[in-house]
Structures are given as structure tokens and as C-alpha cells.
Structure 1
């Protein structure tokens, strides 16, 4: 079986580290880098001895408008699919690269498999929500990270509650030519491996290592929080006003907007420790040792949950609903009072059990791809 895997963002490279290793044990995989994340700290770092295989193809989508970037990805991916003739195209998550891969697979008539299928936050003003829905509808096989994700697909009629069950390790439901499987979360696989092999590395912050439990870890990168000066100002003002040490790895998009809006003064406040984006192992160390995490990242919400660190999410909704239902994650939008109150509140989350699998999602995905596309 030949698999064409599409990745273009930092979270996708982390997932590809795990899935590529599993599928390459028995099958041929072609890894295609769309160029969506072109900053070295957001992409190339994963191909320098960090476990992710070097891309077989690189599409230089680079810096451009969203529409033009999507068009470059689509054209480049379609050309690769026409040339390589894969048996299945594998896409991850809900980024522009995901959408380009889904559309190119549909155009060339190659079956599509979607990792992190079935996630919904209910906010259709977010491009990610549209990408999730469209990719799921185009997919032949949907690898869901939780039972809730499978239920979302049932509600939408993408799959029904009757059909095949694959073994004892994963629950599956089938509708027509599509099948949805609760395999768990690939990010949980990556985190478990990182912790088990003691790969977590403390980054130097201001020339020294951060004190465990002595800081808030902050990431901000979503367009709704960075593209408007007023909203970004509220976030930065709130962080400064907390009176606690803040470690802030600044995303390239956020860094650009802070400069554009002349908000750099907030970054020089004594409470703020600003660093460049760090590698996966360093970021896990920062997460594990933070007092709390403040973020608008979907991936970081899960990593906070896995590591039992209270999370404060700068959004009004989340696709990782289980983290909120358990009290491990608080949604605060972009309001100073809600951010302050959440930082000051006592942690009362329920971290018992894990709704995102057992840390074997990558191997389940590899096995199910083989059963689905290589029957008999």
C-alpha cells in the first residue's frame, strides 16, 4: 500500500512523527510538506533528528494570502498525487494544508483518510470548523480521537451507529463507503513516548532554566486573537496585569502583529519572559512545569490535560469539549476579568482516566488503513 501523507504545520509534524513510524513498518509512505509553516522553528526543527522523516516533496506555499497559499498547495498536491498514484491520502487536523489535501485527493479520485476527524466547536466563523466539516464529508475513513467525535459524525449523518467493528481495541461505525473509528489521539502517543523516554528538555529562558511551578505558560496565535489590535492589546494587558511570571514563546504571526500594532512595550515588562518558539520536547517541559497554561491552541489544551496542568483558553468555545466538561480547562474568551479570575481560581479538575485513548492511536491507524485498503 502506498500512502501520501500531507503535513504543513507544527502540530501536524508532531503527529506525523508517530504515524509515519507505524505505517512505514509495512507500507510505503510519501510525506509531503506544504510549506504552510515555513519558519525554521515551526517546521524544519522536526526533520533534524527529532523523529519525523524528511519530506519526500516540499511545496513552497510560503508567505502569501490565504487564498493564494491554498491554491499553491492544491496545485502542488494534485501534481504529486497524479505522479505517485497513492492508494490513500492521509491528512491531519484542520489547517489550510488539511483542506488542500482533501480537495486535491477528491479531484484526483484518491480515497481520503482524516486524522482528528469529528471534532466540532460549533463556531462556523472559524475557518477551522469549516475545514473539519468539509474534510470529514470527503473522507473514506475517519480516525476520531474520542467517542464524542464519533457522536458528532453520527449527529451530522456522516456515519450511522450500525456497521463493522474492527477488533477489540477500537470502536467503529460505518455509513455507505465511510467508516469512523475511535482510535484515540495521536498527540497522546507522542506525549507518552516523550515522557517515557525522558526526552523532555528544559529550555533556557533568559539564560537560565525556569523554576518548575513558578510561571504561567502562554501561547497566542489564532487570527481572532492576533489580527485585531484591540483584542491583542487586551490579551497582552491582561498578562502584564496578572503580576506573575509569564513565559511566552511568541508565534511568528503574533510577533508580526505585535510589531505592526506597536504593542512591543508589553513584551518588555518585567513579568514577561519572551522566547522564540521551542522544539516539541522543550515545549512539553514548559507545559509540564507550568503553574497554569493560557492559550488559544487546540493542541496545548490537550497537552495541558494529559499533563494535569490547569488550562485557560482564550476562546469562547473548544473542539476538545471533554477538557471543559471535566473542569480541567476554562474558556475565558478575551476578557480581562475572566482571564484574571481563571488564573486566580483553585484547580478542581477531574483528570482521572483519559477520553483520548491509550497511547496506541498510531498503530491502530496503521492497522486499520491496511484492513480497509488491503482487505484479505
Structure 2
């Protein structure tokens, strides 16, 4: 059996590794080892995500914890090098664009262990985003590039990457969504929160440009106050964002918005249900742009760019920038029924993990 180490570093990685782990195990040809760097780790939330996705406890846990980009990357590299020299896997699989993705791909490449990058080729064109640097470097040293949407193929070709390395397999995160949407339908989260289907706006915010200054958070609260005239707002708030509100003395303002509900971060199943039944999703997340497109839910992305253009070109996502008046206007348009029709992009069908495993079968037969 071929030994494969799959790296997770943050919660979005779980949704990408879970279907691949299950497909590798099902094939019977691979020893699938899950390594959690601990880059982001909340014991309660991580356990919920592993349970929801049917993942075993990680085989290897590095326990890196928080720190600056340099500290995190360096710590992961030091610890991951020890693991690779002991385990000697045939290949390392990294997903997404977090610091763990970059760190583990560099270590593997220098030890001449082949690297496969799942979700390769995505580009925002904005190098002020740490994730953009992680994507570019990881793709440049990976041996296999598993691409989720056509823009990824075009970006890699434009960067001079050999087409022999590139495989358009579809969006692996949608595999998790397809596998769990029926379970999400049975969730009682709406009942528990006293919500009706299609009666609320769901908000997620985590990017520094939106939450790390008093001015940006005050702007968000003004946007929420405007939307609250038309819709209940449900905001599963990250502890870091909650702390920012408290540090800037804005919690009283937030609590004064009568239709704004600040709730604890949710598990995968509960959040999927909340997203599926929202009238509108307001976000700065990458993955949520993809999930809302597949669910046919209206999404407004509060960023100046996106590395997932298929969600705009084909799906239900709209890029609204960070201008307060523009966000308010677009949100009210959607809530008043002026919605964007969308379709599901090619190969976002829940079978991406199977296509990756089939590609690995072929690659290992030729190596």
C-alpha cells in the first residue's frame, strides 16, 4: 500500500481532506495518514468538525498553535521535517492556502517527496493577501496540481506550469457538502435559534481588512443596522472578532441592533443548514462563495477581489467590494427580490475525490 500523508492546518481544510481520506481508504491501495499541524485549533470546534465529517482523530498532531506568519510557518517546517524523515511517505497532499499548506509543501519538496496540491491555481491577483503568496509558492513546487475551476488552469498555464502536472478534477469541498446536505436538512439549528427558512441574513467575517480596525468594524455595524430594517441577521462570531468588538468598545453598539444575533461558531452540519436556508449570505470567506453557489443561495462577498471567479461568472455570488453604500444597496436589492440566477460550475458534483484517486492510481502506475 502506498503511504500518503494529507495535511490539515485549519478548519476549512477538514472539509477538503475528509472526502479524499474516505476515497483513499475505499480504494484499498493507500495508507491514508492525516496530519493536523494545529495551526488553528479549538478543541471543541475541531472535535465537532471531525465528528461531523466522519474523520478519525488525526494520526499525527503537531500542536503548532498561533503566532505570526513567519513563526507558524517555521514551526510547522521544523516539526513536519521530523515526521517526513520518519514516515517516508510516497506523496504529501496539501490543500487550500493556509500557512501549513506552504510550510509542508516546502519541506516535502526539499526532501524530494512528491507534493500534490488540491485546489491549485486559484489567484486573486492581490499579493497583499498572505494566502495569495501561499498559493503561488505551493503551486510552483508541487508535482501534481488538482484544479477546482477553469480559471485555475488558465492561471497555471499563464505562469508557465507544465500542463502535464495539471488535472481539472473539480471542487473537493463540494464533495463534503453533497455528502452531508441531507444530514444538515435534519438539523434543529433553525428551531433552536427561533428562525424561519429564508427569513434571515447570515454573516461571516474574519479577514483583517474587515475586523482588525475600529473603523472597519463600525462600518460593518452600520451595514448591519441598515439590513436589520429588512431582515434578521445571524452572525456566528469568531472569538477573535468578538474580542475586537470588546477591545474597541463596540459591543454595546452591536447589542443595540435589535435584529442582530451574535451566536457562537457552529459545527459543519449546523452551519450548512444555516447557509442553505438563508435569504442572503454576507461574507469575506473563500469557501462560502463556493458553497452558496452550489446551494443556489444569494451571496455578497465583501472584498475587492476573489480567487474563485466561477462563483461570479456561473454562480450566485456577487463581489461588492468594501464600500459601505454599495454593500447596503446590494443587500437591500437581494432582500427585495432582485436576485442573481446561477448554475453549478463544471465538476462541482461531489465526485472530485474519486477523480483525484483515479489520477493517483494512474500516476503511481507510471512513476
- Using the size of structure 1 for normalisation, the TM-score is 0.90
CA distance in 1, matches of 2:190, 2:290: 24
Pick closer, same or farther for the CA change 1:201–1:10 going to 2, 3 Å.
farther
Instruction: Pick from 214, 217, 241 the counterpart of residue 199 of structure 2.
Output: 214
Q: How does 1:282-297 map to 2 (within 5 A)?
A: 282-297=270-285
What is the alpha-carbon distance in structure 2 between the residues aligned to residue 287 and residue 332 of structure 1? 19
SS of alignment partner, residue 94 of structure 1: coil
Task: Please give the alpha-carbon distance, in whole angstroms, between the structure 1 residues aligned to 2:25 and 2:315.
Answer: 39
Q: Which residue of structure 1 lines up, in the alignment, with residue 239 of structure 2?
A: 252
Q: CA deviation at 1:50?
A: 3.5
Match of 1:39 in 2: 42
| Mapped contact 2:314–2:343 kept (Cα < 8 A) | no
Structure 2 counterpart of 1:225: 210
C-alpha RMSD of the superposition:
1.8
Alignment of 1:313-324 (within 5 A): 313-324=301-312
Q: Name the residue aligned to 2:362.
A: 371
Tell me the secondary structure at the aligned position of residue 198 of structure 1.
helix
Runs of 4+ that moved beyond 6 A: none
Tell me the SS of whatever aligns to 2:234.
strand
3-state SS, counterpart of residue 51 of structure 1: coil
Q: Deviations over 1:160-197 (max 9, x none)?
A: xxxxxxxxxxxxx31xxxx10000001111111112x4
Deviates more, 1:205-214 or 1:255-264: 205-214
In structure 1, stretches of 5+ residues that fail to align are 160-172
Aligned-partner Cα distance in 2 for 1:16–1:98: 12
Instruction: Give 1:132-211 correspondences, 5 Å limit.
Output: 132-159=135-162, 173-174=163-164, 179-195=165-181, 197-202=182-187, 204=189, 207-211=192-196
Whether the 8 Å CA contact 2:198–2:277 is kept in 1: the answer is yes
Instruction: Kindly state the Cα deviation for residue 202 of structure 1 after the two structures are TM-superposed.
Output: 3.6
The secondary structure found in structure 1 opposite 2:366 is: coil
Cα 1:58/1:353, change in 2 over 3 Å:
closer
The answer to whether the 8 Å contact 1:144/1:184 transfers is yes
1:109 to 109, 112, 126: 112
Whole-angstrom distance in 2 between the partners of 1:353 and 1:255: 34
What is the TM-score normalised by the length of structure 2? 0.92
- Measured after TM superposition, the shift of residue 327 of structure 1 is 6.5
Paired residue for 1:90? 93
Please state whether the residue corresponding to 2:185 is helix, strand or coil: coil
Stretches of structure 2 that go unaligned for 5 or more consecutive residues are: none
Match of 1:302 in 2: 290
Deviation at 1:41, TM superposition (A): 4.6
Which sits farther off after the overlay, 131-140 or 344-353? 344-353
- Residue in structure 2 matched with residue 362 of structure 1 by the alignment: 353
Deviation at 1:311, TM superposition (A): 0.5
